[in-house]
A = this chain, B = another copy of it.
Amino acid sequence: MTDTFVSNPSFFKLDATLKKLRNYWQKKFDAEQKDITVDQWLLIENLYKHKKTTHNELARNTSKDITTISRIIELLVKKGLVKREADAQDRRKVYLQLTPAGVDKYKDVKSLVYDMRKIGWKTLTETDYAELTRILDTIYANIPS
C-alpha cells in the first residue's frame, strides 16, 4: 500500500458525503414540515420494523450510543410518536414502541425517504452498491472495537 494511498482522505470523504446526505434529508423534512430530524427518523424506521424493542437493542440496531437513544426517545415521546412500557418481569427494562401517531409518521415520511435514496444513487448501479457495501463492511471489520 503506497504512501499516497494511505494519506488519502477517505475519512474526510466519508464525513463529507454523510453530512451532505443528512443535510439534504433534513432540508426536505423541514420543507415538507415533517417535524422530525434525520436521526429521529432512523429510530422511527427501526421501531416500525421491530415493533417492540428496548433502548439497548435500539442502540445496537442503529449504531448509536445508548445515551443518545435515551435522549432521542425522550423527544419522540414528547412528540407523541413513541410510548414507553415497563416490563412486568424485569423492572429495569423499558419496552419502546410506536404510538398510532408514530406509525402514521412512518407511513407519511417513508415515500419521501424512498425518493431521496433514489436521488443519491441515480447514476450508480447495483454493482456499485454491492461494492460500497463490501468496502465499508471490510473497513468496519478491520477496525478494532
Q: Which residues of A contact B (CB under 8 A)?
A: 1-2, 5-8, 10-22, 24-25, 42, 62-63, 114, 117-124, 126, 128-129, 131-133, 135-140, 142-145
Contacts and interface: CB of A to CB of B under 8 A. Distances in A.
A42 to B, nearest CB: 7
Q: How many copies does the complex hold?
A: 2
Contact of A120 (B2, B123, B131, B139): B139
By CB atoms of chain B within 10 A, which of A6, A11, A14, A16 has the most? A11
10 contacts: A1-B121, A11-B21, A12-B62, A14-B136, A16-B63, A20-B143, A119-B142, A119-B144, A120-B139, A122-B142
Given A1-B121, A14-B14, A24 B114 contact: no
Nearest to A133: B13
A139 B13 contact: no
Nearest 6 interchain pairs by C-beta: A16-B63, A17-B136, A6-B117, A14-B18, A24-B143, A132-B135
A103 to B, nearest CB: 18
